[in-house]
Structure 1
């Protein structure tokens, strides 16, 4: 069984002697006796079988081996410091993990911006960001299996916050036959292949589809197929605008068609109060979605 030949305290004393230029100065800084520091470093060197310091007069100098051990030991003591800080953070109630679920068809740029801000203040809290379809979001809410759910519908008796309204527009590849038309009627679309974001055989709830729907589970797959000239799709305007500007996709000029819209609701499935990390993230989400502070989640 392995037995350590050194202690964290010995490495801290060794670093202090180097940082302060000698045993006398380090003893004053650490409020310890010089003899105790001498003993700790001597025992450290003896245990390792390597000379780390060379004393000349009243000053201590690193040996070549000591320079190597100094760099490595700083990582060790910094790691111990971070572990102890993490223990303090968790003891204060700071969550170690936050689980977020986002409905596949919803745009999420403001969420990304909130998470970017959160990362600098996360204090070790990890983020699990998952994508799901509407039925999957409902299952997560029912099971209270996430801290936050971004869905296109709210759920009764579950706290939620309306975040934004998303406009969906019809798009296809520039090479698609529909792209050359000056106007496209809803009747003409009915005969075309439509890529529908859904799961299983479920159509988009409340949206009339075409006679030839392909059900696609992920937005990434939908965009990949569209780029290859496969069908058309109704997608979030914020998502496709850069692709339209880059002429990767084309917006279809559909006549007599009201805009399709979908709301983004932030659902808080858990019955327990938000912890400090979740509360911070919620504040950042409100900020980046432009939700006024006076808007609170509904009980």
Structure 2
């Protein structure tokens, strides 16, 4: 096994001498004697056999070799600091990893805004963002494999905070047969056409949500795949409003007028499946997501007005 010739403390002292402009200034900042710093850097250079600093007047300057090695050393000392902070966080029950399961229909711009606010305070916690659909979202709650879940319904026995309401529209290509009908589409007529559905992420999917009465169904993995297929003039699909803004703007998709249902509305909730064991990092992210609710409501209202025009 390789045995290091140098110590982390020696590299930290070298950084301080460079960053603070000399031995005297670094000694003041580190609360050490100037002679001890001088000794540490001299020993570091002797151990490496490389000149790292040269003193001109009263100021120390890096040599070319010193610039290269100090740049690498900064990564080393930062990694050590991160490692020590992680140990402290674990000791304080700060989670090393947080898992968030978010239903695919929840607007991602809302989630990403919360993550941006959370990141500076995350203390190095790893974050896993898992996209879920339908029964798969429910399983993240009932099986408690996620720390936080954003879901379109709350399973029995759990509690959730309301986040927003998302509107789903039935859409197809403007040249599709359904788009050519002048009167509202009868549900019986709709059932005769190919429907695109998003794959349930559950290991044991249960068809208990949504309109699934078409005789023909194609299953795709995500909303983008459904949009791409419909842009070829194939099928119709129920999609959340936030995924349709660009397609409507470019007139790539047509919103169907269905008798008895111009749209579907789903309310989303933030749920902590293990609420009695929630850690401080998860609690902070939970609060960041909730803090953006009002902002999300204003944005949603603006989007709905654009869609309606």
Q: What's the TM-score once normalised by structure 2's chain length? A: 0.83
3-state SS, counterpart of residue 101 of structure 2: strand
Match of 2:193 in 1: 192
Distance 1:30 1:284 in 2: 37
- Aligned match of 2:244 in 240, 243, 259? 240
Matched ranges for 1:1-299 at <5 A = 1-56=1-56, 58-186=58-186, 187-199=188-200, 202-203=206-207, 205=209, 207=211, 209-257=213-261, 259-290=263-294
Once residues 73 and 206 of structure 1 are traced to their aligned partners in structure 2, the CA distance between those partners, rounded to angstroms, is 57
Structure 2 CA distance for aligned equivalents of residues 51 and 151 of structure 1: 60
Residues 223 and 243 in structure 2, CA contact (< 8 A), matched pair in contact too: no
Within 2, Cα distance between the matches of 1:208 and 1:68?
A: 63
52-61 vs 3-12, greater mean Cα deviation: 52-61
Moved more, 222-231 or 81-90: 81-90
Going from structure 1 to structure 2, the CA distance change for 1:47 and 1:195 (only over 3 Å counts) comes to same
Deviates more, 1:227-236 or 1:52-61: 52-61
Q: CA deviation at 1:95?
A: 1.8
User: Which sections of structure 1, spanning at least 5 residues, go unmatched?
Assistant: 293-299
Deviation of 1:223 after TM superposition, in Å, equals: 2.1
Tell me, in whole angstroms, the C-alpha distance in 1 between the residues paired with 2:131 and 2:274: 18
Deviations 1:15-62 (A, max 9, x none): 233334443443344333333223212211111011122345544333
The CA deviation at 1:278 is 1.5
Write out per-residue CA displacement over residues 123-160 of structure 1, whole angstroms, 9 at most, x where no aligned residue.
Answer: 21222111223222233222210011222221122222
The alignment covers a number of residue pairs equal to 292
Deviation at 1:206, TM superposition (A): 5.6
| Alpha-carbon RMSD | 2.6
Gaps of at least 5 residues in structure 2 are 297-309
Residues 169 and 240 of structure 2 are in contact (CA less than 8 Å); yes or no, is this contact kept in structure 1?
A: yes
Q: 1:140 to 1:38 in 2, by over 3 A?
A: same
- Aligned to 1:120, the other structure's residue is in SS state helix
Q: 1:208 to 1:11 in 2, by over 3 A?
A: closer
Deviations 1:165-201 (A, max 9, x none): 2221110122322223333422321211111234388
Return the alpha-carbon distance in structure 1 between the equivalents of residues 212 and 64 of structure 2: 75
Assess if the C-alpha contact under 8 Å between 1:173 and 1:248 holds in 2.
yes
Contact 1:137 1:151 in 2 (8 A): yes
Dislocated runs of 4+, deviation >6 Å:
none
Q: TM-score, normalised by structure 1?
A: 0.85
8 Å CA contact 1:154, 1:160 repeated in 2: yes
Deviates more, 1:267-276 or 1:23-32: 23-32
